[in-house]
Structure 1
Amino acid sequence: MGHRFVSKPLALIASLVCASAWVTTAVAGPINVTVTGARNDDGVVRCGLFSSAAGFPKPENRVGEAVGKVSGGTATCSFKSVPSGTYAVAVFHAEHNEMQLQYGLFGKPKQGVGFSRNPSITFGQPSFNDAAFEVGNAPVSLNIRLNY
């Protein structure tokens, strides 16, 4: 009987060790985003983190959001504790602290916008794949240039 009593706690400890090892490898974060090219220091830069092409880059489909104060035409957004995977970031310069991107004539954004990997936006927003990057076990640093 004593044998069963000892083996159950050892099995529990072994399973907890395995579970904690899995949790530490599943989380990579942070993702640090430096956004450059702001035309002024008004307002903030709003950054959205997306984990799939479904609905990219609509705000309601983001899996994370961060805000960076603009200073000297540059802002920094940070996403902490991001699980490993494929992501894309979309940013916009909310000069008047807008919560959502505003559009003008022909659907052109009124604010500066940018995406991870700085794909061309001459003919509209990029696809998720054009902006996608991998998050592994190390922190990720991105540089995104705003386009007006």
Structure 2
Amino acid sequence: MNVPPAGTVTVTITEMRSTQGVVRACMTTNREIFPRCRKDPASHRTVVTASENMTLTFTGVKPGNYAIALLHDENDNGKADRVLGMMPKEGFGFSRDAKVQMAPPKFDDAVFEFDGSAAELTIRMRYML
């Protein structure tokens, strides 16, 4: 059986409100745990220093259906800070610009098909506060 080589997914992040902290990104095929894909050992994850014009790249990506979740962790404490335990204080974004309505989007709202070669996506960072 001929297995195609794994490729790259490049993400351009727009509408960053500051250059403080880092952007935490994860990409998964696991619909049951999205957007908390850190619990998926097969997920692709990266952390990059926040900047005005941001691009990040996932490498070694096999063909499949993926969803991406981003967190602008402005204080770099490794978690999504919230106000009153509910509303996000920090920025977030999802592939396919999936909307947040009282809860994070479902996998099916953010999923994109990757053919195993190369893909370029743009994700808008959103802030509630």
TM interval, short-chain normalised: 0.7 to 0.9
Partner of residue 73, structure 2: 94
Change (3 A) 1:118 1:95: same
CA distance in 2, matches of 1:99, 1:76: 20
* Aligned residues: CA RMSD: 1.7
Larger fraction in helix? 1
Question: What are the within-5 Å matches in structure 2 for residues 1-148 of structure 1?
Answer: 22-23=2-3, 25=4, 27-58=5-36, 59-61=38-40, 63-72=43-52, 74-105=53-84, 107-148=86-127
TM-score (norm. length: structure 1): 0.77
Choose between structure 1 and 2 for higher RCO, CA contacts under 8 A separated by at least 6 residues. 2
CA distance in 1, matches of 2:92, 2:44: 17
Mark the runs of 5 or more structure 1 residues left unpaired by the alignment. 1-18
Change (3 A) 1:76 1:67: farther
Q: What's the CA shift string for 1:69-105, capped at 9, x where partnerless?
A: 2222x32221101010000000010112222222222
Change (3 A) 1:109 1:52: same
Q: Is residue 25–residue 45 contact of structure 2 (8 Å, CA) maintained in 1? A: yes
The one-letter amino acid of 2:65's match is T
3-state secondary structure, aligned to 1:53: coil
TM-score (norm. length: structure 2): 0.87
Larger fraction in strand? 2
Structure possessing the higher radius of gyration over alpha carbons: 1
Change (3 A) 1:106 1:95: closer
Runs of 4+ in 1 over 4 A off after TM superposition: none
Q: Is residue 112–residue 146 contact of structure 1 (8 Å, CA) maintained in 2? A: yes
Deviation of 1:54 after TM superposition, in Å, equals: 1.1
